[in-house]
Amino acid sequence: MAQQGPTTPPETPPSPPQAEIPPPGDFAAAAAWIRALRAQQFERRPGEGLREHKKRLTRQEISDTATWMFVEHGFDAVRVADIAEACGVSEKTVYNYFPTKESLVFDREAEITEGLVGALRDRGPATSPVQAVVEWLANEGHRHGEVPPGAIWMLKAFDELVTSTPELIAAERGMTRRIIAALAETLAESLDLDPRDPEPQIVAHALMALWETRASSTSRHIDEGLSGQALRDAVRADLARAARVLETGLWALHLIAQGRQIADAARAMEEARREIAGAVRKARDAWQAAKRTRREARETREARERAEARERAEHAARQAERQAEQRARQAERRAR
């Protein structure tokens, strides 16, 4: 019952089973209801033989049975042998389909990886990686239809199972790392880079974050009481917001932090413009005042220098006059 995998979406999403939705806590009835839903979803794929189709159904039945046994009794309390007995198969058969106990819960890893990688690989030249993943997530959600209000408790029970079990938390992290590695490999191939380079790594992490955003958004809006089409619309809107941040870059977060409304940003810009204009006027006035001060200082200095030059000239003239008078008196004495 883990995250659902990719396929081409049908024309219309499947309807929930006609059987009455079991009440909260009736785990056996919930497992039966899920099996009825699977019967609607698990049509034979193009080119899939009858044997392969039966194996896929068996694998899903084992996973669903194990999941609800874990939900009811706890992950640690249920043995693989208990699951095999409940499904009417051998313990070896269970391990043939699922190499670990945790993989019984996260049973769609291969399909998720294939869907995300395929969305990147097959996107058109005008489609960004973010757009490709968002479209795939929307189609993947469409394929599984709407969760009716009465069945919301099942999603909550599954979420509680995962978030309260350390082994499943660690397994989910490992699955996330493997999917990110596959995304980085695909991106690196298209960019002719090493998958370990920072560009494919950061983009792969960001794209996987869209998947995680959808999961956290679903849990949040379920807690708020949404279900059905309203739940799908709310999750789609959150996913679109997250995608916009990725498309526009982290600068968008700065803009959001500065003000969520364009009007607020415009007012802030207008106030900044006025402050800048006022600062420019003050700077211009200060510059003009400084120019006047410098001009006045220069004029004062020049006037002082001219006065000093006149004084020196007058002094020199008086000295020359005295020297001339002395020479005249000396010449007169010699003439006598």
Residue recorded with tokens 């510059």: 287
Of 153, 144, 162, residue with least CA distance to 225: 153
- Contact yes or no for 161/26 (Cβ under 8 A): no
* Residue 333 binned pLDDT confidence (cut-offs 50, 70, 90): confident
Query: Between 3.40.50.11540, 1.10.357.10, 3.30.413.10, 3.30.9.40, what CATH number should domain 27-258 receive?
Result: 1.10.357.10
Task: Tell me the pLDDT tens digit for each residue of 201-258.
Answer: 999 999 999 999 999 998 899 889 888 888 889 999 999 999 998 988 766 555 555 5
285-328 pLDDT per residue, tens: 887 888 888 888 888 888 888 888 888 888 888 888 888 888 88
Q: How many CB atoms lie within 10 A of CB 5?
A: 18
Q: Which residues of 272-284 are buried (b: 16+ CB within 10 A; e: fewer)?
A: eeeeeeeeeeeee
Instruction: Locate the domains of the chain by residue range.
Output: 27-258, 263-336
